[in-house]
Amino acid sequence: MFVFRLDSNSGVPPYLQLVQQVRQALLLGFLQPGDRLPLIREVVESLAINPNTVAKAYRQLEHEALVAGRPGQGTFVTETPTATVSPAIYTSLRRGLKTWLHRAYTAGLDEESINGLFSTVHHEAKVEGVA
C-alpha cells in the first residue's frame, strides 16, 4: 500500500505535495499500473489532513491521466502510463543541474540565494510561457 508523507513546513501546498509524491513514485517505479492508491479516508486518517486536499490531489492526477477512479472501488494507477521521463534524460538533467550548482556555489552564492534565484527565474519562465 502506498504511503504518503506531508511536510507542513516545506512551503509547498499540501495537495501538490501528494501529487508530486505520486508522480515521483511512478517515475521511480514504486507505483505500477494497476496499483490502488489509498482511499481518501485512509490518507486522511493517517496524515490528519483535510479530505478535500486529498480529493483535489487525486483529481489533479486524474486530469494528468496518471490515475483513474473506479466508482465504489477506489483510485487506480492507469494501465497505460503517459509520458514518463526516460531514465537517460533524467540522469542527464541531474548531471547538468549538479554542474550548474557547482558553478553557483563557487561564485559565492549560498543555498538561500540559489533557491531565490531559481524561484525568480522559474517564475519569469512561466510568465514568458516557457514553463
Query: Order of strands, edge to edge, in the sheet holding 36-37?
Result: 36-37, 74-77, 67-70
Report the distance separating Cα 43 and Cα 39, nearest Å: 6
Tell me: does residue 16 bind another protein (CB under 8 A).
Answer: no
Nearer CB in complex with another protein: 11/108:
11
Q: Do 31 and 22 form a contact (C-beta atoms < 8 A)?
A: yes
Considering only residues 45 to 84 of the shown chain, the ones binding another protein according to CB under 8 A are: 45-53
* Shortest distance (Å) from residue 56 CB to another protein: 9
Considering the complex, state which of residue 26 and residue 54 has its C-beta at the smaller distance from another protein.
Answer: 54
Closer CB to another protein, residue 27 or residue 40?
40
The HSE-up count of residue 40 (CA atoms within 13 Å, CB side) is 15
- Does 129 interact with another protein (rule: CB under 8 A)? no
Question: Could you tell me which residues come within 8 angstroms of residue 105 by beta carbon, excluding any fewer than 6 positions away?
Answer: 114
Q: Where on the chain is the footprint of another protein (CB under 8 A)? A: 6, 8, 11, 13-14, 40-41, 44-53, 120, 123
